[in-house]
Structure 1
Amino acid sequence: MKRICSIYKSPRRNEMYLYVLKADGLERVPEGLLPAFGKPQHAFDLVLTPERTLAREDIQLVLENLEKQGYHLQMPPAEDEYIEHLPEELLRRNDPV
């Protein structure tokens, strides 16, 4: 199953993305989602296949959501994940003296 997907970023939340089938555009996205997401800003288009890997999402889940509900919402990583990737020197600066 090969799908051409448009990916939109949220102006309200850093690293929140909305995947939709390019042919459908934003038609199948529920109206209730858009106020929280903000006005979608087109980031890029991408060909998705089951063999493709995505950095932070399970490709099977993305393809299933696109097929069943017409969109996939990628949430920002948890704050714990940000902390895990900070360089040691930044972590040490925040240690109590």
Structure 2
Amino acid sequence: MLCFVYASLRKADTYLWLTERDDFEQLPETLQQLLGGLRFVLELELDEQRRLPREDSRTVLANLQAQGWHLQLPPGESHLADARR
């Protein structure tokens, strides 16, 4: 699956993965507000065998397939998970 990764300009080490480039309309408003501006950082082909530094590729793929986006949080930042909804 082709993925597009963006870095949050407001929240350090927080990344947004999308299935379509610049398709921010599908994000919940609370998540958009939390992330602030986004900077494009990477385009990659992702499959279950690809090793990622801090994420499980199967989890990322499942979220991308289910909702069209995945939020990668910094280690220890689980309180942001509520903004995903």
| Bin of the TM-score, shorter chain as denominator length | 0.7 to 0.9
CA 1:41–1:23: 2 relative to 1, 3 Å: closer
TM-score by length of 2: 0.81
Distance 2:43 2:23 in 1: 11
Contact 1:6–1:25 (8 Å) recurs in 2: no
CA RMSD of aligned residues (A): 1.7
Question: Which residue is equivalent to 1:54?
Answer: 52
Percent identity between matched residues is: 40
Give 5+ residue unaligned stretches, structure 2: 78-85
Change (3 A) 1:56 1:24: same
Q: Which has the higher contact order (CA 8 A, sep 6+)?
A: 2
Q: Give the aligned length.
A: 77
Aligned-partner residue type, residue 14 of structure 1: A
Question: Could you tell me the TM-score, scaled by structure 1's length?
Answer: 0.72
Where structure 1 has 5 or more consecutive residues not aligned to the other structure, the ranges are: 80-97
Q: Which has the higher helix share?
A: 2
> Rg bigger for which structure?
1
Runs of 4+ in 1 over 6 A off after TM superposition: none
